[in-house]
Amino acid sequence: MPYLVVARVFEKLAKTTKRLEKIDIMACLFRSVILLRPTELLAVVYLCCNQIAPPYVGLELGVGDQVIMKSLGESTGRSLNDIKSDFTKAGDLGVVAVASRSRQCTIFAPRMLTVQSVFSTLISVANSEGKQSMTQKVRLIQSLFVASRETEAKFIVRHLQGKLRIGVNEQTVLAALGRACAFTPPAKVPPVVDMSKELMNSEQMEELECHNTALIKKAVCELPNYELVIPALVRYGIDHLNEHCHISPECNTIVYVCVLCKMIYFKQGVPIKVMLAKPTKGIAEILERFKSMKFTLEFKYDGERAQIHILSDGTVKIFSRNAENATAKFPDLVNSIRKVKCNCKKKKKSHLKPDITSAIIDSEVVAYDRKEHKILPFQQLTTRKRKDVNEADVTVQVCVYAFDLLFINGQSLLSEPFEVRRSKMHQAFEPKQGEFAFAHYKDTTDPEEIQQFLDLAVEACCEGIMVKTLDIDATYEPAKRSRKWLKCKKDYLDGVGDTLDLVVMGAFHGTGKRTGTYGTYLLGCCNSENDNFQSLCKCATGFSDEQLKELTDVMKNHVVGKKPSEYETHMDCPIWFEPKIVWEIKCADLTISPVHCGGVGVVHESKGIGLRFPRLVRKRDDKSVDDATSTDQVIEMFQNQKHMQ
């Protein structure tokens, strides 16, 4: 299948801002693929999401502009300086790439780009490493440029940069897939368009679409790996998708070979997207929301989210909040869980009772002082090395606080209520002080006791408390920020509800004492609808002098020459950064601002939401810009605030 087909669709998608239109355009593409080239659906979906591998594999593109410009120079015979000056003018390498369609003729026209060839070249680019990697990358990218037609080069550049900028996020792609499956159901033999569906009215059709989308989303949440989900969809059809793609700590029970890159993911646990909690402001709000329901309180430990997979062959895998593989970061933790496995056989004391073969635990890993037996602040945990950690060198000990059990002995617990999941967890594991513990909890509805519990949590060096439904409406919902889980942080109780995780967009040079550093930063939230970043505030407080210097040094590496086109703001910063870094920010309240653009068009036709009195809480190296607070969340916070007044 020619890549040009996909590139033309991208071009069309970029021209509209209407979500429904985008879904329709993409659904048409998917329908054709399902009908004509079902085996290539995977590559097409990957290209649309601009992914090349499941997130937990850690294979990413993000090729630097320098490499792209070099490849462009080599393939068109233009000098690097010419390309650079064009780039400064246009501000978008993709546009430069198309405009650079060279004046140099070719001897023989290169073979046309296909979806498969583009995809596998992208994978090779991502995989190239070592001292020759630069030349290797340039050569691979060059081969794509040489063969590109029309606007193909533009989207190749964007694939490489890791930002497609066609205003499409993964959710849109899945919705389009759901729509495509409604009109052209895959796995029908012979593969013809189901004409009987034409008899349905549009309402029924819409319902079917939503139903399909939900099925696909469910599969992707439980098994966030398109290489498993899409082939299953093509092979078994939408109605049987969930029978074949469901939660499992052992992917090797599902036997699909990745046809595209022949990489082997078997024997590797597949992380489930974690369930998230909604912020609340106080006890009154909690009681209001859970009026007649049974609920429980839990300590909210201040550490890193960890999804621990225990596979039946004894392998232990740990995944972060973003479903990235963090196993290498916690060898001590892996070992203590593995030790447990050995101990089981000897019937010694262990966290794992002997009849456990496989399990998935949701937990928080916190820094722990094993001598004093107390939890250490989050900052201690961040001092641990992130890669190639050697167990002998670990200075900051950690303890796991397990709070949920998603899977045990081959059986998914996702649809069980929390009360059942929790009791199964308590039955299955045995805590060990300083290494493995259960999250401290209390079942109560008395406001007084909730307050006491919250104080207790704060005293125990926790962030606050979690409030969860126990029996009614208490299933585990991957990837959802659901009302079933509420979080109440200690700092919510004053000022605005939650802190915000904002993207660092730009900076102003410091003056006076701050000369030589960036004195003020421009921060913003992530708008997934438009696929851009909207500024929320200028922040100049909350950092110490050392921190100011440290942050400057870090941010210097992310400076770009020109305001990135995906930034929406009326501020004009002398320094702009690429969207890479996320900081946690606290503010007094939210207001309508003439210069900031949070949720512009929603709360006010031309003005956006801005933060008042923002201050830096801490860096969030564990969050990527896609995990930054979204515009929708900002709007919700703003509206909640209005209610309170």
Partner 1 sequence: MFECTLIQGELFRKLIVSIQDLVQDGNFMCDSNGISLQGMDSSHVALVAMALKKEGFADYRCDRDVTLGINFANLGKILKCMGSKDRLSIRAQEEGDSALFVFESEDSNRMSNFELKLMQIDQEQLGVPETQYKAVIRMPSSELQRICKDLSAIGDTVSISATKEGIKFSVGGDIGSGDMTLRQSDSGEVDGDDSEKIMIELEEPVQQNFALRYLNNFTKASSLSSMVTLSLGTDMPLVIEYKMDNLGYIRYYLAPKIDDEA
Q: Which residues bind partner 1 (CB under 8 A)?
A: 74-77, 79, 103-110, 139, 142-143, 146
For residue 467, what are the β-bridge partners?
A: 297, 486
Q: Find the shortest distance in angstroms from Cβ 110 to partner 1.
A: 5
| DSSP, res 640 | H
User: Left, alpha or beta for 193 (phi > 0: left; psi -120 to 50: alpha)?
Assistant: beta
Six-digit token string for 439: 């999250």
Least separation in angstroms between CB 414 and partner 1: 46
User: Nearer to partner 1 by C-beta: 139 or 246?
Assistant: 139
Phi, psi of 477 (to 5 degrees): -115, 100
Of residues 142 and 475, the one with the C-beta less far from partner 1: 142
224 neighbors 269 (Cβ within 8 angstroms): no
In this structure, are residues 4 and 112 in contact, taking their beta carbons and an 8 Å threshold? yes
State the nearest-atom distance from the C-beta of 124 to partner 1, in Å.
Answer: 14
Q: How far is the CB of 5 from partner 1 (least distance, A)?
A: 22
Per the CB < 8 A criterion, the answer to whether 504 and 542 are in contact is no
19 or 149: CB nearest partner 1: 149
* Minimum CB distance to partner 1 smaller for 2 or for 434: 2
DSSP string, 301-315: ESSEEEEEEE-TTS-
- Provide, rounded to whole angstroms, the least separation between the CB of residue 243 and partner 1: 40
Count CB-CB contacts under 10 A for residue 621.
Answer: 12
Q: Name every residue whose Cβ is closer than 8 Å to that of residue 255 and which is 6 or more positions away in sequence.
A: none
Nearer to partner 1, 143 or 358 (CB): 143
Distance of closest approach, residue 146 Cβ to partner 1, in angstroms? 5
Residue 79 CB, nearest distance to partner 1 (Å)?
A: 7
Nearer to partner 1, 117 or 445 (CB): 117
Q: Between the CA of residue 618 and those of 368, 384, 584, what are the distances in Å?
A: 20, 16, 5
- Closest distance between partner 1 and the C-beta of residue 112, in Å? 13
Nearest Cα neighbor of 362 from 415, 315, 413, 401 is 401
Instruction: Tell me the two tokens of residue 339.
Output: 């030790």
Are 477 and 511 spatial neighbours (Cβ–Cβ below 8 Å)?
A: no
Q: Looking at beta carbons only, is 135 or 411 nearer to partner 1?
A: 135
Minimal distance, residue 130 CB to partner 1, in Å:
16
308, β-bridge pairs = 318, 361
Report the C-alpha gap between 645 and 641 in whole angstroms.
Answer: 7
Cβ atoms of 365 and 351 within 8 Å: the answer is: no
Q: Which entry of 300, 317, 586, 623 is annotated as an active-site residue?
A: 300
Distance CA 572, CA 322 (A): 32
Closest CA to 166 of 8, 21, 11, 19: 11
CB 222 within 8 A of CB 247: yes
Helix (H) / strand (E) element for 133: namely helix 133-146
DSSP states of 406-441? EEETTEE-TTS-HHHHHHHHHHHB--BTTTEEEPPE
Minimum CB distance to partner 1 smaller for 135 or for 409: 135
Cα gap 148→142, rounded to integer Å: 10
For helices 3-15 and 115-127, angle between their N-to-C axes, nearest 10 degrees: 90
Give the separation between CA 277 and CA 204, rounded to whole angstroms. 33
Closer Cβ to partner 1, 29 or 83, answer by number: 83
**By C-beta, is 119 or 485 nearer to partner 1?**
119
Minimum distance of partner 1 from residue 77's CB (angstroms):
5
Decide if 300 is catalytic.
yes
Q: Which is nearer to partner 1, 103 or 643 (CB)?
A: 103
Q: How far is the CB of 385 from partner 1 (least distance, A)?
A: 38
Tokens matching residue 222 = 């439980």
Residue 373 to residue 165: CA distance in whole angstroms: 49
Tokens coding 360: 């998935």
SS3 of 539, please? strand
CA dihedral 515, 521, 522, 524 (to 10 degrees): 170
* Residues marked as catalytic: 300
